[in-house]
Amino acid sequence: MALKIGIVGAGIAGLATALRLKAQGHDVVVFESNTYTGGKLHALELEGYRFDLGPSLFTMPHFVDELFTLFNEQPRDYFNYIQKENVCNYFWEDGTRFVASGNREAFVQEFSQTFNEDPKNVSNFLDNSALKYELTSPLFIEQSLHRFSTYASLKTLKAIVKLPSLDVHKTLFKTLKSYFQNPKSLQFFSRHATYNGSSPYKTPGIMSLIPHLEMHFGTFYPKGGMHEISQSLFRLAERQGVSFHLNEGVEEIVLSSDRKRAKGLKTKRQEYDFDVVVSNMDVVPTYRKLLPTLKAPERILKQERSSSALIFYWGIAKSFKELDLHNIFFSDTYAEEFKAIFEDKVLHKDPTVYVNITSKHSPNDAPANNENWFVMINAPGNYGQDWDEFIALSRERIIAKLSRILHCDLGALITVEHVLDPRGIERSTQSYRGALYGAASNSQFSAFLRHPNHRSALSNVYFCGGSSHPGGGIPLCLQSGKIVSELIANDFNNI
């Protein structure tokens, strides 16, 4: 039976959900309040420079390729990428530099030499990272955590039995200390907590599975930039007959008289009837704005939010040979940085700085002999702080830090500038408090407390995207679309 399905939001998860539901034979309509698709995966052109505004790390590209093969299209005809030989360049104030190879053997050798660590400990850590991923992905990434059938599979039962040995009851930082001695080694692997907007001093040790994603699956650069991920999927959806209503934000999910199911969607233009509704909007505004009369799951909605970001987009009148696509300049006071973000809700005086430069692979993204710098520091969510003051102070601190490490007067090289702070992220993407990943993963039960992809309270309403299961980041958002499509197929007997 073909269903008429309305999707709220054209972020990466909304696009993936639309494609999978279309492949099942349903009539799919996507509503987006912005004039563009892609959500956080957006782009900006400014005086000869092109910038990706949102996520900058691309892993597990097979999740994108899957969406093309659903329609028997060859992904390489429409979407292409290259694999990076080196994952990232790392810099410390004392002059230490490290280039992380994407080759495991080379990484183990170079990491152990640079940081004076036992190669066996480095290898054992990577083996453990792989084991954690293999055991937990069937439970945390591939299926709904909120259906009985999930827990009936052999893979899931195996993962549950192994949970006590997967460092769930220890923080990531404590887990790392059982492998590494050098403070820089601990800092290097602690950074993976930021991949889901959390603190390494609070998030559970199971998050040490993240290095496996970079080492085993690799890191990639999409030709045309990160924006091309969302736009290639948008074009695919249009080719397959998905209908898009851009600049038409949804104002209400219209409920039945008993408030147990959705009848359709109301926009600023008209009301539409649907058999099924999927929200790709952050779960907090979904309930507060679109479902104001429904009793909300307050325990879930009041969870601590993930970190946000302060991003400077700079045109730089120089080319730096020592920099690559991904570059990280570490803080000397890492623990204090996360305390500032998650406890004090301020920006740290010595922030860790991430610099992404797509012109390293796409020369047309900047004028000749220039570079387009995406310069980001982790930030707290928007709690009404004085962001204008934060921006001014952080700009000075970032320029000073990068100038010291790179031995240049960086401020004099900035030719154009655009700034994005948590207020702007919240405004343009409807992400509550500007959080990049929905709820933070700062407790051992975080994965189980994320909003489910479906609640029995609303029989035909589903949830996808970074604020729902399995979490934020491109791969998980793509997986949320897959989980939702499978739930709908099962619930409406369309398997």
What residue spans define the domains of the chain? Answer: 83-222+305-429
Residue 216 has pLDDT above 80, yes or no: yes
With beta carbons less than 8 A apart as the criterion, state whether 282 and 301 touch. no
Question: Which is nearest to 280 in space by CA: 42, 79, 478?
Answer: 478
pLDDT at residue number 495: 45
Q: How many angstroms separate the CA atoms of 155 and 138, rounded?
A: 7
Residue 155 has pLDDT above 70, yes or no: no
pLDDT at residue number 453: 95
pLDDT tens-digit readout, 130-141? 988 888 776 666
Sheet of strand 243-246: strand arrangement: 243-246, 27-32, 4-8, 276-279, 461-463
How many other C-beta atoms are found inside a 10 Å radius of the C-beta of residue 51? 29
Q: How many angstroms separate the CA atoms of 232 and 68, rounded?
A: 10
Q: What percent of the chain shows pLDDT beyond 90?
A: 86
Topology classification of domain 83-222+305-429: Polyamine Oxidase; Chain A, domain 2 (3.90.660)
Residue 36 has pLDDT above 90, yes or no: yes
Q: What is the mean pLDDT of residues 191-215?
A: 91
Least confident of 175-184, 212-221, 422-431, 454-463: 212-221
Residue 30 has pLDDT above 70, yes or no: yes
Helix or strand holding residue 391 (H, E): helix 387-406
Output 216 or 383, whichever has higher pLDDT. 383
Q: What is the mean pLDDT of residues 194-215?
A: 91
Residue 150 has pLDDT above 90, yes or no: no
Alpha helices in 216-320 (DSSP H): 227-239, 283-285, 298-301
DSSP 32-59: ESSSSSBTT--EEEETTEEEE-S---EE
Q: How many angstroms separate the CA atoms of 348 and 175, rounded?
A: 25
Sheet of strand 81-83: strand arrangement: 58-59, 219-222, 81-83
Q: How many angstroms separate the CA atoms of 369 and 320, rounded?
A: 9
pLDDT at residue number 164: 64
